[in-house]
Amino acid sequence: MVMTQSDVLDKGPGRPFNDLEDRMAVIAALECVNYVVPFDSDTPILLISKVRPNHLVKGGDWDTDLIVGAAEVLAGGGKVHSIPIRYPVSTSSLAVRIQELSSKK
């Protein structure tokens, strides 16, 4: 699992809510995850090329032809997955909802 470092994410003031170490710990606790690696680039292509993962997974809003590193993973015999988004909930939408609820009090 490749995880974007907090300072690279441009989510606005006070974001992300959880720091890199906490986000990595949550993902590392998943049984299906072998490693969690931070990166600070615009794209994980160099890391994908070095690690050569068996699976490359992105959310369903990504066409597999547009997933960065897909060609490299496929060339190495791996698989690329675009997983459907079943519940379109984001941290950003959750933050907006919390603000809306707190302003009603």
CATH number for the domain spanning 10: value is 3.40.50
pTM of the model: 0.71
* Predicted pLDDT at 11: 67
Report which listed range, 2-6, 39-43, 79-83, is most confident. Answer: 79-83
Q: Which amino acid is at 48?
A: I
Q: Which position has the higher pLDDT, 92 or 57?
A: 57
* Predicted pLDDT at 9: 60
Measure the CA angle with vertex 36, ends 30 and 40; round to 5°.
Answer: 140
Q: Which position has the higher pLDDT, 86 or 25?
A: 25
* Residue range 17-75, pLDDT digits in tens: 888 899 999 999 999 898 898 888 888 899 999 989 999 998 888 888 889 999 999 99
- Print the domain residue range for 54: 2-103
Q: What is the mean pLDDT of residues 76-99?
A: 87
Domain count, the chain: 1
What backbone phi and psi angles, to 5 degrees, belong to 66? -105, 0
